[in-house]
Amino acid sequence: MIKLDIVSGFKGSGKTTLIELLEDLLWRDERLVILQNEFGKKTLSPRYTHHFLEQISGGCICCTSQILLQQCIYQLIESHHPQRIVIEVPETASLSDIGFSLTENLKDICQLDHMLYVMDVPSFQKRLQLSEGFIRQQIRKSSLLFLHHLESALPTEKQALLEFIHTYSPHSFISSRSWGELQKQEVCHLYEQSRIKEAVYTPMIRMRQPAPLFTEYSDIF
């Protein structure tokens, strides 16, 4: 069964950089395809010869391009024979809709493994004011959250953010390390613990014991 990881988050939050880091920390030994639906300031370049980059254009895959996405994944499987496909999606793409669509239409060959969400902490409050309901839904569907630039936030901002996450997604796991401090053992542990357990992803919240508000690896305050 081919594993699927979805990477979402604020535009400019560091999704591409995180994917490059995870190539080294998690996916180095896997035959991997990275599929981009968002094109930011930084161009992603696969770090290993058995890693491949493909791009899908023509709109957000959450709405106009869902059928195109499914066709693209079939083509990727046929051409690259990956063990894992990592899909970087725009911040406007609904994780619930993408997850349900992929597992319903590709359930015979693919399994949704992770929903990774990247949050740029300094811009969190501003984003929340613009679209609180949508961000709440995104966080609720995420299995592992990466809090970027947490070290630059005020203590009150950190507390507000962590309480928001714990309120709306107590089942999600949290990494609060800066990109330069991510360590293999810590990330591997969180990644393993945050796997989506169901064979079929549904719009319902995953039934799992709540994760601790503060991860054992994070000296947040």
CA distance 164 to 170: 10
Nearest to 48 by CA among 69, 22, 73, 74: 22
Q: Which domain holds residue 98?
A: 2-193
Distance (Å) of CA 60 to CA 15, 102, 122, 209: 16, 14, 25, 33
Q: Side by side, which strands form the sheet with 84-88?
A: 51-55, 32-36, 84-88, 2-9, 110-120, 144-148, 173-175
pLDDT at 77: 94
Per-residue confidence of the chain (221 residues) as pLDDT tens digits? 999 999 999 888 889 889 999 999 999 999 999 998 765 556 677 778 899 998 876 656 665 566 778 888 999 999 999 999 999 988 888 898 888 888 888 888 999 999 999 998 888 888 888 889 999 999 999 999 999 888 888 888 888 888 999 899 888 899 988 888 888 899 999 999 999 875 434 433 333 344 443 343 333 33
Name the 3-class secondary structure at 60: coil
pTM metric for this prediction: 0.84
Report the CATH number that the domain containing residue 169 is assigned in CATH: 3.40.50.300
- Domain membership of residue 201 (yes or no) is no
CA distance 101 to 69: 10
- Domain membership of residue 137 (yes or no) is yes
- Domain membership of residue 202 (yes or no) is no
Give the pair of three-digit tokens for residue 207.
Answer: 């039934």
- Domain membership of residue 210 (yes or no) is no
- Domain membership of residue 179 (yes or no) is yes
pLDDT at 117: 95
pLDDT at 199: 40
- Domain membership of residue 54 (yes or no) is yes
